[in-house]
Chains A and B, each alone.
Chain A
């Protein structure tokens, strides 16, 4: 296999056109471009990308940072203004689900048409239509005009069609969050399968979680320029910190995961042991033992993972623990999990423990449930920071200093003793 990149961009830049007046536009159009009277508006500059076969690039950034422009360039929908790019193989761009659907045609006809738009032949698509309708779960409505469908159904059909095209490179713009939870789960699974099958992916998402879990490289755009590139955990962390500083909040939690349906895996109850109930919070002295008792239900008994995160008030993720990290997979239709946290190492602060229920791969979040009350950790010591790190000092000194008077300048850790 050749290791030639699937997607390669060098010094890529895009300037859209703005016209100082209508006449300037008329001059440029009617002269067929011989008179160039537009002003360039740079949406993107100096972007370098190298995506090897099977790689997945996550693009993050605030609104208006140039993400959509970049995807349009990758999809070939608009030519670059400077630099160059090349793409190997068949590209399926889902810059919008259901783009190209005709409201008067049936679901079946639309699937076929869109598949051809995405680069399949008509024969290929005729073979695949049943599979697409099946995956989208719209078989019953397959022959009714699309205008009678719900928007969710149309989006599901759009996603199913793009997947069926089996592209070499799939470009997804914020489309993993469509449909109900069940469909989201299938989408995420399908994207993982696609990647396991050697497909490459470019993903724009506001869910940094998805970018970290799915991608193996990330690009953070800010004001049309690259603000960070490389390891997804590092780049999303940088972005999250920058965004948190700016907007006073960190990464947003997807709402759907807070309220799953009755037939979905979910957490029914979380009990906190080892704390004292004071006012609106559970309090705990740093270094005491804490344990959580998690009651869960999973009607379809699909394998899941459980996890607990501790988030500080400013939404900084401080610590996390998951069954997968201990090599455990949760099976069965209901049960109770107990998480013991001996000698709780967090120092003084107010934290929100959140219990997560995820699919077996740890990508799709079935349910997220915070404990009933926040956790207030008190520390009698003067230790600084968020956590107590296990540490031991040893001193080697030379020369003889003046003896230190008692009670002055003592090591803070010993002050309590």
Chain B
């Protein structure tokens, strides 16, 4: 007796609200069913990053370690820039280090996510690869690498006394999950838009640079540091990226009280709606564009 559970008629896709929402709500179960595919893609992506290098799997750990050494040296020895209320440059360099790590991972998710459908078009065209997995793979691998980088920062920072150990570091998995949500939502939307309209990929680098400068990666959103910033603060506060960096700094820089960031619980809680919202929005964009993408790709 044949099972009939997988026997459904494949019909022309509908982009009506109900069918889009149904597809969005099914996303978690679809991803779960495709987990083997996902792990395989993830393993391939991670292996592909270091393929042909001598250090191989050590690179994801070596890179943040090197960044930590460079930042530490630059800001404690060469440049005498200090955060308000700090006696040396260590806090400032930690602020920058964590901001840079988190932002570059997010930017990577956006960039690689945007091109993921076009790069993986052979998989979609020839092997009917589920399109929502293509942006998920680089987002996931980038978040994992960011997490391993954070572990390096925690360990080396604690050992050297550059970033004293603090229990807040235990919230690393939570902030990684929220980071993944925001990054994946961004990657899903950009992947869909860019697969339909290549111009999106052309604007993206510019957009990301502008966003990076407008987000407190290299500056502190406080009138003490930047006089005259008050009128802009509500906008900075509303940006999901500000909340993302706040959350990372709350987790990693808690050992240095001079680093300006909200308390851990508040930082994580305020990121949750942004992260969830981005995920749902991204999946809706991709679901709406899916019929077009499958015809065009």
Q: Which residues of A contact B36 (CB under 8 A)?
A: 116, 120-122
Q: Report the nearest B residue to A8, measured CB to CB.
A: B9
Choose among A86, A102, A118 the residue that contacts B127 (Cβ–Cβ < 8 A): A118
The complex places the Cα of A77 from the Cα of B292 at a distance, in Å, of 12
Is A17 at the interface (CB under 8 A from chain B)? yes
Is B202 at the interface (CB under 8 A from chain A)? no
Is A2 at the interface (CB under 8 A from chain B)? yes
User: Per DSSP, are chain B's interface residues mostly helix, strand or loop, or mixed?
Assistant: helix
Q: Which residues of B contact A120 (CB under 8 A)?
A: 36
Instruction: Indicate if the CB atoms of B295 and A89 lie closer than 8 Å.
Output: no
Per-residue CB contact flags for chain B residues 22-62 toward chain A (1 = under 8 Å, else 0) read 00000000000000110111001001100110000000000
Is B199 at the interface (CB under 8 A from chain A)? yes
Choose among B7, B10, B51, B123 the residue that contacts A76 (Cβ–Cβ < 8 A): B10
Which residues of chain B from 1 to 28 have a CB within 8 Å of any chain A CB? Answer: 1-2, 4, 6-13, 15
Per-residue CB contact flags for chain A residues 1-26 toward chain B (1 = under 8 Å, else 0) read 11010000000000011000000011
Q: Which residues of A contact B52 (CB under 8 A)?
A: 104, 145
Choose among A1, A30, A76, A109 the residue that contacts B128 (Cβ–Cβ < 8 A): A76
Choose among B2, B9, B40, B285 the residue that contacts A117 (Cβ–Cβ < 8 A): B40
Q: How many inter-chain contacts with C-beta < 8 Å in the A-B complex?
A: 120
The complex places the Cα of A179 from the Cα of B10 at a distance, in Å, of 35
Is A113 at the interface (CB under 8 A from chain B)? yes
Given contacts A4-B2, A105-B44, contact A81 B12 (CB under 8 A): yes
Per-residue CB contact flags for chain A residues 274-300 toward chain B (1 = under 8 Å, else 0) read 000000000000000000000000000
User: How many of chain A's residues touch chain B, expressed as a range?
Assistant: 35 or more
The stretch among A92-100, A189-197, A220-228, A371-379 that forms the contact with chain B is A92-100
Per-residue CB contact flags for chain A residues 111-145 toward chain B (1 = under 8 Å, else 0) read 01100111011100000000000000000000001
Q: Report the nearest A residue to B296, measured CB to CB.
A: A17
The complex places the Cα of A209 from the Cα of B294 at a distance, in Å, of 34
Is B291 at the interface (CB under 8 A from chain A)? yes
Instruction: Indicate if the CB atoms of A93 and B291 lie closer than 8 Å.
Output: no
Given contacts A93-B127, A109-B47, A122-B40, contact A99 B122 (CB under 8 A): yes
Instruction: Indicate if the CB atoms of A2 and B2 lie closer than 8 Å.
Output: yes
Is A64 at the interface (CB under 8 A from chain B)? no
The complex places the Cα of A129 from the Cα of B147 at a distance, in Å, of 32
The complex places the Cα of A343 from the Cα of B6 at a distance, in Å, of 61
Is B172 at the interface (CB under 8 A from chain A)? no
Choose among B8, B11, B122, B285 the residue that contacts A32 (Cβ–Cβ < 8 A): B285
Distance from A76 Cβ to chain B, minimum over Cβ atoms (Å): 4
Instruction: Indicate if the CB atoms of B196 and A93 lie closer than 8 Å.
Output: no
20 more A-B residue pairs beyond the given contacts A102-B44, A109-B47, A145-B52, with a C-beta to C-beta distance below 8 A: A4-B4, A25-B197, A29-B197, A75-B126, A76-B10, A79-B13, A79-B291, A79-B294, A84-B11, A86-B9, A93-B128, A95-B127, A100-B129, A102-B48, A104-B48, A104-B52, A113-B44, A116-B36, A117-B40, A122-B39
**Can you offer 13 A-B residue contacts whose CB atoms are under 8 A?**
A1-B2, A17-B295, A29-B289, A32-B285, A33-B292, A80-B12, A95-B126, A100-B127, A104-B51, A105-B48, A117-B123, A120-B36, A122-B39
